[in-house]
A and B are shown apart, each in its own frame.
Chain A
Amino acid sequence: MTMKDAIASYVHDGDTVSLEGFTHLIPTAAGHEIIRQGRRNLTVVRMTADIVVDQLLAGGCVTKLVSSFVGNSSAGSLGELRRRIEAADPEPLEFEEYSHYGMICRYIAGAQRLPFHPLRSYAGSDLPSVNPGIRKVTSPYPGPDGAPEEIYVVPPVNPDVTIVHAQRADRSGNTQVWGLTGVQAEAVYAAKKAVVVVEEIVEDEVVRSDPNRTVIPSHAVHAVVACPRGAHPSFAQGYYDRDNAFYRSWSHISKDPARLRDWMAEWVYGTRDHAEYVAKQGEGFWAGLAVGEAMSLPVNYGRRL
């Protein structure tokens, strides 16, 4: 499926859309296509709301954000997000704040169709006072000292669609990830529909030669999109490195609304699709993000004689 068709088919105005990828394999190209297609009133769920979220905000796509970290990684600030939250400029942003493990537990509960998930966080924090989704319950079992035990719980999240980026998949969607696997599998299982974007689609035999590397099996996947370099400016382990210079520059671009508009006009609205975005950067640029080989040794799965 093309990215254009996948976004047209699976992302609708008003939907709750989860984009996951923890620093690694961020589905940026999918975010850009959502902006090009002009989706509105989305609730975006993303643990680390970073550059792609800032761009979706600037594209006017998002009315609500659910997140546990809002920042430009370790490289600075998100200008559009801060204007929306600090000054309601150009309009307010509804923001639901959790901690990282709170978000992970929401995906686990969502994936497993549980009513809630307990965790040993939030005790004494001000977060429950601004987020009614975080609630304290009494455990039905006695604590270690025999007395009743109180614990915080978070609600499940079941996005209309989860989009993740991965290194490779076969045609039916068996998806392999190596390096940081983040929370992608839980986010896919939590969703009603899942779109997997990959660096390359490979023959079935490639996947079957190493089934332990399959993080997301095809039964959880509704669409597979081949989109090389679709995680830029984040990285794909073994394919290309992180564009640290762009992360640093984003703090300056997004701080100035005019500069941000120009950037969006040139790089998102001004490119028909991600292939054009990649071509526009030029091969010299991509050579700068190239990585060398560090092959793992094969394992012997064995076969019955």
Chain B
Amino acid sequence: MTAAGTATSSELLSVVASRELAGRRTVFAGIGLPTLAASLAHLTVAPQLEIVYESGVCGAHPSHLPETIADAVLITGAEAVLSMATLFGSVLQGGHIDVGFLGAAQIDRHGNLNSSVIGDWDRPKVRLPGSGGAMEVMANSGEVFVVMRRHDPRSFMADLDFCTSPGPDRALADGITPRGAGVTRVITDLGILAREGVGEELRLVAVHPGVTVDRVRAATGWDLQVADEVTTVEPPTAAELRLLREDVDPGRVYLR
């Protein structure tokens, strides 16, 4: 059996996301899959990568896998700890972040995200956590990667219930010149969607082994654009899986 055959969905998403960080200098990472992806990238394709956390930590060197973006183990041994005004104002809004990682409950064809409510904002069916710093990450990072554990029509929506974190197209329509490219990569359990920036829709560019283009189309709540040539994602290598399991998350806190 190949290594890929033994990879879990979390491992697959982490490995694929880590490869996308090749050559990047600064990444704004949330906890969970983005932490795994950034940590693995640090050990493989992006040794120079500086991982910045919303809590104010820059250049973390944790002794243990952090359980939150503000875990005490991120502080001890870190290169810098900044106030939130400096982190959000000067680092993020100042334009120092190459890649931001975001998750969301809903995403649309332009990579706009909803993390506020399912249903009406005034009387929601489900109250979600809200923006946190997601809106600022979207507005100010050079580009944004989204990792979605489940690719289905309930999450990949033609019309969002609410737009918490708008991409550059919506900013332009609001009369404000966008700074970053917005969402450029969406990594899911079915494959990879990509877009270049303003005016573009997400396009299916790669599928995981055994996944068909039709299956991804059926799992997407809009008429999904598909690249002329859809590649098959290279399965996680034995080396990538070993690093992830033995060095990055040996306690299997996020690896499921």
Contact = CB atoms under 8 A, between A and B. Distances in A.
Nearest to B167: A124
A85 B124 contact: yes
A219 interface: no
Given A69-B131, A81-B127, A180-B75, A126 B162 contact: yes
Contacts of B85: 104, 108, 183, 186
Contacts of B92: 101
A126 B164 contact: yes
A125 B112 CA distance: 9
Interface in A86-100: 86, 88, 97-100
Given A124-B166, A180-B81, A242 B124 contact: no
B129 A242 contact: no
A302 interface: no
A2 interface: no
A151 interface: yes
A297 interface: no
Interface string B119-158: 0011111111111111110011000000000000000000
A78 to B, nearest CB: 9
B83 A241 contact: no
A133 interface: no
A22 B55 contact: yes
Contact of B175 (A68, A150, A291): A150
A74 B32 contact: yes
Contact of B179 (A120, A130, A180, A183): A120
B48 interface: no
B75 A237 contact: yes
Contact of A74 (B67, B77, B163): B67
Contacts of A122: 135
Contacts of B56: 22, 180-182
B171 to A, nearest CB: 4
A163 interface: no
B89 interface: yes
A299 interface: no
A67 interface: yes
Nearest to A147: B177
B84 A183 contact: yes
B88 A100 contact: yes
A71 to B, nearest CB: 4
Given A68-B132, A100-B131, A101-B88, A185 B176 contact: no
Nearest to A239: B72
A291 B75 CA distance: 13
A104 B88 CA distance: 8
A90 B196 CA distance: 48
B69 interface: yes
Given A67-B130, A97-B116, A241-B72, A182 B83 contact: yes
Interface in A280-294: 291, 294
A291 B166 CA distance: 41
Given A124-B167, A126-B163, A244 B174 contact: no
Interface in B57-82: 57, 67-72, 75-77, 81
Given A99-B132, A180-B81, A124 B127 contact: no
Nearest to B110: A124
A100 B127 contact: no
B68 A104 contact: no
A242 B55 CA distance: 15
A73 interface: yes
B14 interface: no
A121 B121 CA distance: 19
B235 interface: no
Contacts of B140: 120
B173 interface: yes
Interface string B174-192: 1111110000000000000
Interface in B4-52: 31-32
A114 interface: no
A265 interface: no
18 contacts: A24-B55, A68-B131, A68-B132, A81-B127, A98-B131, A100-B132, A100-B135, A101-B89, A101-B92, A102-B135, A119-B93, A120-B140, A123-B175, A124-B169, A127-B135, A179-B72, A186-B85, A294-B77
Interface of B: 31-32, 54-57, 67-72, 75-77, 81, 83-85, 88-89, 92-93, 112, 116, 121-136, 139-140, 162-167, 169-179
Interface of A: 22-24, 48, 67-71, 73-74, 81-82, 85-86, 88, 97-102, 104, 108, 119-127, 130, 136, 143, 145, 149-152, 179-183, 185-186, 235, 237, 241-242, 244, 291, 294
Given A86-B127, A179-B75, A235-B72, 7 more contacts: A101-B135, A120-B139, A123-B171, A124-B170, A145-B177, A150-B176, A183-B85
